[in-house]
Each structure stands twice: as C-alpha cells, then as structure tokens.
Amino acid sequence: MQLKNDLILRTSRGEKTERTPVWLMRQAGRVLPEYRAVRAKMGSFEELVKSPEFAAEVTIQPVDILGVDAAIIFSDILVIPDAMGCHYEMIESRGPIFPSPIKTEADVNKLIISNPEEDLAYVLEAIKLTKQGLAGRVPLIGFAGAPWTIFAYMVEGSGSKTFSKAKYWLYNNPTLSHKLLDKITESTILYLKAQIKAGADLVQLFDSWAGILSPTQYREFALPYISRICDAITEVPMTVFAKGAFFAREEMGKLSCNTIGLDWNMDITESRKLVGPSKVLQGNFDPCALYAGYAEIEKMAKQMLDEFGPHHHIANLGHGLYPDIEPDKVKCFINTIKEYSSQMAR
C-alpha cells in the first residue's frame, strides 16, 4: 500500500524534506488514557504485548490522537530473550524480572537462535494488523534492543543501577560474553528482518544501557554487534539510539545505519560534529521539558529545531515519554515542530 505520509522515510534516506518529521519514544503507552483503557482489560503487560489485535490498537492510537509522523509497534525489547528461552515477567512499577537469569556456560549453550516466524509470531501478526489499520497513513517503525542491553538484562536478571553482574561477566569471562552476544545478535538480525517482511518500514535499535559501559568496553562488547546488525539490515532505513553513549558518537557516525538517536544530555552542535554530516540525527528534547508551560515548550522546541537545522533531523525526545505528561503538552510539542520546521524549510 502506498504511504500517504512518507516524510520520516524520505528524511531517513537523507532527502531534504518540506518539514521535520516527528514521533516520540513511548508515544504508545501510559501517557494516553486510551492506552490505559486497553491495558486495563489485560491481566498483564506481557498479555498486551502478546495480543496482536490489542497491540495493534495501541500502536495506532498516537497516530490519530497526537498526530505523529510514524507509528512504532507496541512491544518490548525483552521479547528476544524470551524467544531465545530466557523468560521474564514484567512487574508493575518494578520492571522486568528474569526468574532464571543466565549464569553459566551451560545456560548460554541452552539458548536457541530464535526463529521469529514461530517464536515471535505474535509481534509479526501485530505488525500486519497495524499496517492494515494504518492504511498507509504513516510508516510503521519496528525495533529491537541492542545486543549489550539484552545481554545486560539476561545476565543481571532485572533492571539495575549498576548492572554489576552483567559487567562482572564482561570483565571475567569475555569469551563467554562474546558467545552470548553473538547469539543475541543472530536472533536480533532474524527478528528485524522478519519485522520488515511483516511490514515495518523502518527499524530502530535501542541500546538503553549503553551508558553503563566504559568507552573501552563499549568498543569491545557493544559496537561490533550493533555494526553487524546495521550491515545486515539493508531493506529499510535504520536508526541506532544508544542512550548515554556520548563517548561513542564519532564511532556511531561510521555505522552503516541512516540515523543516530541523541539523548537530552548530548549537545546538538557537538553531536553533529562528532557524528559527521552524512547521518540523520534524531532527538533530543528533554522528556521533563514537557512538564513546562505551553509557551515555554514552544520556545524550547523552536530552540531545538534551530540547533538541528531544517534538514537531516527527526524530531523526538531524548528518551521515552514519561507517563505523567499531559497529552496536550505532547500535542503542543508536536504541533510546534510541524509548524516551525515548515517555516524553516521554506
């Protein structure tokens, strides 16, 4: 089906567009009362993730309600460990818990390279339903966690401030760490390719825990796997968002992806210099800046656009939307981006 709004795809491919495309990480989620109504029908978060019809419904919600230029499939980065045989539960207000985290070489050997058509059929089905529901209004973004972040959860067994168990592995058993990262990488490539085959028009890799590693470890245990995924995905544009990896921006500029996501700590001008001129940049409004008043949000959004310039930029936050932000504030941000960037591009 022909897309009516393919702005984000043209921008991702490096074209100069009539305005800056905009979407928000976690745009489908607790910030919308409409999402909370669907969520309330489900026993658990995992149930929602594994119910293609409902996942499609909440994926489409922000397109109509907020007016974003892309939908992102409602899912979780932890479906990959789950599909590989390392299961998790999402505990409300605590985050994910893995009852049997990876502890030994035998645990690593037992993990399978997941076959997404079987093990992750529910995501692929949700993508197909979403594409039908969107009917070409906007492109659909697929995603996965970057290997280091997935590794961190699988070894740590939960979220953590320090991920010291996961880092213990890197320092104590680099060979086994690489073996696990390799398996995650292979699963992720197959998974992203399956998402694309099912209809994803663009894919994003989230390295949520990039900022936990030292530059040296990031270069050894994270970047090579991200790079391998970027090289494997040639079908659609790809974005890499490594939160906290300010120290790797120069290397990020050399990845064979289209877009690099910036978090709100990263200075825009400096990031452009480090990443280089050839990449599209995505980001990087402070999620908390949406607590400000309307006039202030408008002012700050315009400042951000002035810094990024009229082209090679996808407007977004520097992290996911927080659940207690008023939807009208989100709309104010989105509308400001649309209007002001149209003026800039003229």
Where does this chain bind a copy of itself (CB under 8 A)? 162, 164, 167-168, 170-172, 211, 213-215, 217, 244, 246-247, 264-267, 270, 286-289, 291-293, 296, 318, 322, 324
C-beta of 151 vs 191, nearer to a copy of itself: 151
Cis amide leading into 115 (omega within 30)? no
Q: How far is the CB of 229 from a copy of itself (least distance, A)?
A: 23
Q: How far is the CB of 245 from a copy of itself (least distance, A)?
A: 9
Phi, psi of 56 (to 5 degrees): -65, -40
Q: How far is the CB of 212 from a copy of itself (least distance, A)?
A: 9
C-beta of 122 vs 291, nearer to a copy of itself: 291
The tokens describing 262, both together, are 């910036």
Q: How far is the CB of 240 from a copy of itself (least distance, A)?
A: 18
Helix-strand-coil percent breakdown of the chain, rounded to 5? 55, 10, 35
**Among all chains, which residue has been given the structure tokens 């210099």?**
273
Catalytic residue among 6, 19, 69, 76: 76
Active site residue 122: no
Nearest residue to 96 (alpha-carbon basis) of 175, 29, 154, 177: 154
Q: How far is the CB of 75 from a copy of itself (least distance, A)?
A: 21
**Among all chains, which residue has been given the structure tokens 């949700």?**
126
C-beta of 7 vs 330, nearer to a copy of itself: 330
Distance CA 5, CA 275 (A): 28
- Alpha-carbon distance values, 217 to 39, 101, 174, 198 (Å): 38, 22, 10, 35
- Alpha-carbon distance values, 73 to 253, 268, 332 (Å): 26, 27, 23
Distance CA 10, CA 7 (A): 5
Active site residue 219: no
Catalytic residue among 35, 69, 119, 153: 153
Catalytic residue among 10, 13, 39, 137: 39
Length of the chain: 346
Give, to the nearest 10 degrees, the angle between helix 147-156 and helix 164-172.
Answer: 110
Active site residue 26: yes
Q: How far is the CB of 114 from a copy of itself (least distance, A)?
A: 29
- CB-side neighbour CA atoms (13 Å) of 100: 11
C-beta of 191 vs 333, nearer to a copy of itself: 333
Catalytic residue among 19, 26, 228, 272: 26
C-beta of 2 vs 216, nearer to a copy of itself: 216
Distance CA 36, CA 163 (A): 30
**Among all chains, which residue has been given the structure tokens 């977004």?**
316
Active site residue 137: no
Active site residue 39: yes
The tokens describing 12, both together, are 């991702």
* Catalytic residue annotation: 26, 30, 39, 76, 153
